[in-house]
Amino acid sequence: MVKLLVTGASGFVGQALCPFLKKKGMIIKAALRRQPVEYPYDYSLINDIANEEEWVQALDGVEVVIHLAAHAHGVKQGNYSKRQQDVCNLFNINVTGTKALVQASYKAGVKHFIYLSSIKVNGEETHIKPFVEQDVPMPIDEYGESKLQAEEAIKGYCQDNKMSYTILRPPLIYGPKVKGNFSDLLAISASKLPLPFSALNNKRSLIYIENLLDIIYLALMNPKARNETFLLCDGEDLSVQELITCMRNIMNVPKNLWYCPLIILELIFKILKRQQAFLRLSSPLQVNNQKIRSDLGWQPRFSITQGLEETVRWFLSSKKQNF
């Protein structure tokens, strides 16, 4: 059996990944920031992700590292001092922390390092064609830049083939227990309110959590994944209006979308100081997943409709429990 260290084990992906890999016969060790009350796996507490010495005990006997831990959000708007503090924190976790872990992994004799990066390394939007692995990275914000720098650090330590890597760049990940923007979209869709989104015809790629777990397992087991970077998606792109329509159909809620010119919608989001949210809603972002299909033989186990059905079912169930 393979012994794994999973960082970010308490996060959205980590909570789904650990039991998934345990069922596959893997020995799980988690890296956690806080002392859990009860925890089903062996774990090490990491107080400072950027301190290489803190990783030494956690990596004892580990053959594969799956690095999920990250500062998952971009830098918030605010005064200069607060913004600079946020930038430093983001790069400390995503770049310096990754460097410390990959250095310690190399020294500990880890054989393979799997890194969950982000499609934001490629950029924020597509127009002529979907993103592919051969595209020159063009991150436009600090988060995307931090993920790119982390990728480069990993590749640097794997040049002599003592330790191999697999880099995975997913778009928005959704599924039961999802948080952030997708959780907000679920709540808006369930509200039954008329929404001014029928003009949002931009196509965006997504990936369902269970499809992502299958890919991580392939990266772990398939030798063809060694020293490769893969772009991920379900393979069925939806516009925002299609996504909301699909979720409302599953919820048995009327579609109830009306037309608002994009220029007016952009102004509304600007007044609300949610310009980045408007960019994500209105811009196309499509991913070509042909490489992982052809190289690793991956096929999505769940269609996007099946994934949304499971996500909506969880959302409605959790909503009832909160009342």
Mean pLDDT for the stretch of residues 21-50: 92
pLDDT exceeds 90 at position 26: yes
CA–CA distance from 54 to each of 6, 16, 219, 282, 289 (Å)? 15, 25, 26, 43, 36
pLDDT exceeds 70 at position 108: yes
The whole-chain average pLDDT of the chain stands at: 92
Distance (Å, rounded) from C-alpha 295 to C-alpha 289? 10
pLDDT exceeds 70 at position 304: yes
Q: Determine, yes or no, domain membership for 320.
A: no
Of the pLDDT bands very low, low, confident and very high (cuts 50, 70, 90), residue 321 is: low
Q: Determine, yes or no, domain membership for 100.
A: yes
Distance (Å, rounded) from C-alpha 313 to C-alpha 250? 9
Mean pLDDT for the stretch of residues 278-303: 94
**Nearest Cα to Cα of residue 188 among 277, 115, 93:** 277
Distance (Å, rounded) from C-alpha 76 to C-alpha 274? 10
pLDDT for res 281: 82
Mean pLDDT for the stretch of residues 132-149: 95
pLDDT for res 76: 59
pLDDT for res 37: 82
* Alpha helices, H only, the chain: 12-23, 55-58, 80-91, 97-108, 142-157, 180-190, 209-221, 240-251, 262-271, 275-282, 290-296, 304-321
Which residues in 52-126 belong to E strands, given as ranges?
64-67, 112-116
Is there a contact between 113 and 154 (Cβ–Cβ < 8 Å)? Answer: yes
pLDDT for res 73: 65
Q: Determine, yes or no, domain membership for 315.
A: no
pLDDT exceeds 80 at position 81: no
Longest dimension (CA), the chain: 58
| CA 229 centroid distance within chain | 15
Q: Determine, yes or no, domain membership for 307.
A: no
Mean pLDDT for the stretch of residues 70-85: 67
| Phi, psi at 58, each rounded to 5° | -60, -30
109, HSE (Cβ side, Cα atoms, 13 Å):
5
User: Which domain, by its residues, includes 75?
Assistant: 3-169
pLDDT for res 42: 92
Mean pLDDT for the stretch of residues 28-51: 91
- Any idea what the CATH number is for the domain that residue 55 is in? 3.40.50.720
pLDDT exceeds 70 at position 74: no
Number of structural domains found in the chain: 1
pLDDT for res 127: 86
pLDDT digits (tens, 9 = 90+) for 214-243: 999 999 999 999 999 999 999 999 999 999
Q: Determine, yes or no, domain membership for 184.
A: no
Share of the chain above pLDDT 90, in %: 77
Q: Determine, yes or no, domain membership for 196.
A: no
pTM of the full structure: 0.94
pLDDT exceeds 80 at position 78: no
Structure-token pair, residue 55: 């990783």
pLDDT for res 205: 97
